[in-house]
Amino acid sequence: MEHKPLVSVIIVFYNMSREAPRTLFSLSVSYQQHVNPADYEVIALDCTSVLPLTNEQMHEYGTNFRLIKTDSSPSPASAINTAARQARGRYLTICIDGARLWSPGIMTETLSVLESNPDTVIATPSFHIGHETQNVAMTKGYNQETEDIILEKSGWETDGYQLFSIACPDGSSANGWFLPLHESNCLTVSKNLFEKAGGFDERFSSPGGGLANLDFFKKICEEKGEIYILAGEGTFHQFHGGVTTNIPPEQHPWEIFHREYVALTGREYSPPEYRAVFRGTIRRESAWMLQYSYDKVADRLKEMGVRLEEAQKTITRMSDRRSDIRVRYVQPVLSRVRNSPFLSLIRSLISK
């Protein structure tokens, strides 16, 4: 009987001849920790690239990699749905942007969550390479050559968590770990749930899919009500001239994309509301993200009249610890409470 992988990773590429080899390596068993090729397959979607990916390239990364070439351009929505139908796994990990490197624990953490919680949704926060978002950094001279130097110096290929040392949150994760994400560029759902939700809405025809990924993420989160977030893991965006990520802020197409969203859904976009279960390991390299997320929560709760002075010393102690910190904590939706769940989170993280 044919063995089928548990997870099918669907990742979209369009004109990413520089970025794709790094991304595909970051999905391979040579980089992902404590997994083997039988656990998952990688479906690389090439959407009419000028220099398309090849089957020979897939073989470089493992027997669990395969290529599907599509003519789905400029929106990848229909291509994702096509790949989902061909996927062999019970679960789908959707990566709409193939320029994003994975941290090395994403797959093993995903498999661990699915083993104990088979009917769940798993989201990974998103980052940009560089210490400010690439939309801003490019106006100050940031480009692919600059990024190549940063990546080479980081040593990420041998220690993928060094990516946190050269990155900042992207727009979708700008509120940190503990406030709602707008989307995830590494989102795992069961194939049944994907089909129940109708897959990606193929009516989104804007370049890059417009808000199709945000729309799908919102539908899935609100269908489930509770999702897992891989704290301490992330995807890291390489500079490649992306439709939304690599243009100056004043040229961002949000208004165009939002008009399409309103026309298709009949409502203004708003972030999803959900309960979050945090899973993962917070390492020294990603401890700054804990501080960043604390600041965002503190600002939000201050608006709600909640004071958090006592948390600051605790979080500083955490950042100074040399050992990794395992996380599993359920956070209520912040907009529905006036007491801070964050203090309990901090205490749970430092408890023995």
pLDDT of residue 329: 42
DSSP H/E element including 318: helix 311-320
Looking at the structure, tell me whether residues 166 and 114 fall in a common domain: yes
Residues 306 and 203 in one domain: no
**Helices then strands (H, E): number in the chain?**
12, 13
Res 19 pLDDT > 90 = yes
In a domain, 1, yes or no: no
* pLDDT on residue 243: 58
Residue 143 is part of which domain span? 7-265
Q: Do 25 and 124 lie in a common domain?
A: yes
71-90 average pLDDT score: 91
Residue 347 pLDDT greater than 60, yes or no: no
Distance between CA atoms of 298 and 316, rounded to whole angstroms? 15
Inform me whether the pLDDT recorded for 336 exceeds 90: no
pLDDT (0 to 100) of residue 350:
41
pLDDT band at 323, cuts 50/70/90?
A: very low
Contact partners, residue 262, CB within 8 Å, separation at least 6? 268, 269
Helix 342-350 / helix 287-303 crossing angle, nearest 10 deg: 150
Higher pLDDT, 302 or 268: 268
**Same domain, yes or no, for 234 and 126?**
yes
Cα 211 to Cα 102, 172, 264, 270, 302, distances in angstroms: 22, 12, 11, 12, 30
**297/256 same-domain check:** no
User: In the predicted model, what is the mean pLDDT of the chain?
Assistant: 86
Inside any domain, residue 277: no
In a domain, residue 213? The reply is: yes
Contact present, 216 and 201 (Cβ < 8 Å): yes
Quick count: other Cβ atoms within 10 Å of Cβ 319?
15
- Phi and psi angles of residue 98, each rounded to the nearest 5 degrees, phi first: -75, 0
pLDDT at 302 over 90: no
User: Pick from 344, 342, 351: which is nearest to 317 by CA?
Assistant: 351
**Is residue 193 in some structural domain?**
yes
Please check whether residues 180 and 317 belong to one and the same domain. Answer: no
Lowest mean pLDDT among 176-190, 277-291, 303-317: 303-317
- For the residues 10-28, what does the mean pLDDT come to? 97
Q: Are residues 92 and 176 in the same domain?
A: yes
Q: Note the pLDDT tens digit of each residue in 160-210.
A: 999 999 999 999 999 998 888 999 999 999 999 999 999 999 999 998 899
Band of pLDDT at residue 338, cut at 50, 70 and 90 = very low
| 188 phi/psi in degrees, rounded to 5 | -110, 125
* Predicted local confidence at residue 245, as pLDDT: 61
Within this chain, do residues 225 and 346 fall inside the same structural domain, yes or no? no
Q: What local confidence, expressed as pLDDT, does residue 344 receive?
A: 55
Q: How many CB atoms lie within 10 A of CB 346?
A: 23
pLDDT tens-place string over residues 28-47: 999 999 999 999 999 999 99
Among 215, 235, 265, the domain boundary falls at 265
pTM of the predicted model as reported, rounded to 2 decimal places: 0.89
Q: Looking at the structure, tell me whether residues 165 and 216 fall in a common domain.
A: yes
pLDDT at 334: 43
Of 42, 214, 216, 190, whose CA–CA distance to 121 is shortest? 190
**In this structure, is residue 252 part of a structural domain?**
yes
Q: Which two tokens stand for residue 123?
A: 């989201």
Q: Are residues 244 and 311 in the same domain?
A: no
Residue 74: is the preceding peptide bond cis (ω within 30°)? yes
Single residue among 218, 240, 265 that ends a domain in this structure: 265
pLDDT (0 to 100) of residue 303: 73
**197 and 345 part of one domain:** no
What pLDDT is attached to residue 351?
A: 41
Q: Give yes or no for residue 317 having a pLDDT over 60.
A: no
Lowest mean pLDDT among 167-181, 206-220, 287-301, 314-328: 314-328
Residue % of the chain over a pLDDT of 70:
83
Distances (CA, A) of 4 to 85, 187, 318: 14, 20, 41
The span from the CA of 200 to the CA of 187, in Å, is 13
Q: Please report the pLDDT score of residue 155 as a whole number.
A: 97
Kindly report which listed range (102-111, 236-245, 249-258) carries the lowest average pLDDT score: 236-245
Q: Is the model's pLDDT at 293 over the cut of 50? A: yes
Report if residue 159 sits inside a domain: yes
Q: Name the one residue in this structure whose structure tokens are 């700054």.
A: 288
| CATH number for the domain that contains residue 41 | 3.90.550.10
Contacts of 252 (CB under 8 A, 6+ apart): 135, 244
Query: Both tokens of residue 226?
Result: 């509770």
Residue 204 near residue 215 (C-beta atoms within 8 A): yes
**40: CB partners within 8 A, 6+ apart:** 5, 6, 7, 8, 9, 64, 89, 93, 107, 111
The domain tally of the chain equals 2
Helices 287-303 & 311-320 angle (0-180, nearest 10): 170
